[in-house]
Structures are given as C-alpha cells and as structure tokens.
Amino acid sequence: MSEAYYPLFADLHGRRCVVIGGGLVAQRKVTTLLQYGADITLVSPTATTRLHTYARQGRIRHVARRFRPSDLTGCWLVYAATGDQRINEQVFRQATRRRILTNVVDQKPLCSFIAPSIVKRGDLVIAVSTGGASPTIAKRLRRQLQQTIGAEYARMVRLLKGLRGVAKRRMPSYDDRRRYFDRLVQGRVFDLVRAGRTAAARREALRLLARESSKNGSR
C-alpha cells in the first residue's frame, strides 16, 4: 500500500486557522492562508513587521503571548512555526486530540498534513508534493510549471466558470456538457483566449453552445 499523502484541496474561506509563531516562517504561512480567505489568528509574543501590519489592517488577529491549548478552540487548521520544540510538540498533541489538521513546520512526524508547492493562476491551483521526501524537487517542478502555465489558463478557467450555469440549463446531460467543454478547451475558443481576445472567445463559446444544445435537443 502506498504511503503517499492523499491530495486534498480544502475550502478555507471563513474557517478559523491558527498560526503559532511570529517569525519569517510563520509570516509565509499567514501570507499564503490570506490568499485563500482563511480567518487567521496568530499566537506569538513577538511578530515580524509584516505580521504586525496584517494585524493593524484587521486582516488577522494577533494574540501577543505564548500558546495556550484554548487557542485551538473552534480551529480547523493549525501551523506551528516556533523555535521552541516543547511548544511545537504541545501544539501537535493538543491539535491531534481535537482532530485538527496540524502542521509543525519541517517536522514530518508532527504533521497530519503537509503543504505542497503551489502554482496559482486565478482559480486554477496546481499543487506539487513529494510527501515531504524532497521539497527541492517539488520547488523545481513548481518553477517549471510556472514557466509553462501562463495567465491564459486563468482567463480560460474564468470563462468556463461563467459558462457552467447556462450550459447546465441548456444541456441536462453530463456527457453532452463534458464533450462541449472538452471542445472549448481543445479548439478555437482557447486559441482566442491565448490571444487575449476573451470577449470573442465567449461569443464563440456561446455560439457553439447554442448549436450543440439545439442538436442535442433534436435527438
């Protein structure tokens, strides 16, 4: 049986996430979580300038003291990024007892999840993980993907997202919708998006939808 991690994309919007620690590592974790709409509480006696700025802006809550188990009340996900191993282990024990997703940074035995290397293009998110075996390889693959996956993919995802509702109304059949969207991605519509002609791409997609839904309705 494989020991690889099960890949999972989590909806963090409005969910309480706690970061223990106030250094640069904690700053990176907080900055990433903010991109995904998390409700963040930072627990640390000290914090970086940027973390203080986040707190002043109201983007996070900063509890300026050492960790207490009660900090995990209502928490959905927690990062521990302190230089105190006793605190890191305490966070892991308390979070595990409460069945909270937990990551003690760079300590795989104290993690119930690990953070992948991420390539983000709008709503398109690509995650690369080696199960903690080689972060260097994961980062190298991320750099390669960043060079390959351009902004046109974000525009295409946004276009397809906007078409989902109307396609579902006009094409009740899942198989018909799948063929329709496959055609958009593999044909002229994506070519138009690549060329920056998003409005023309949407017109072409709607033209194809009207034709395909009419054809399917006449079966």
**Is 73 in contact with 91 (CB distance < 8 Å)?**
no
- Res 33 pLDDT > 50: yes
Alpha-carbon separation of residue 53 from 25, 42, 47, 57, 136 (angstroms): 16, 12, 10, 6, 31
Percent of the chain with pLDDT over 70: 97
Q: Is 0.85 topped by the overall pTM?
A: no
Pairing of strands 117-121, 124-128: antiparallel
Whole-number pLDDT of residue 219: 46
pLDDT of residue 1: 56
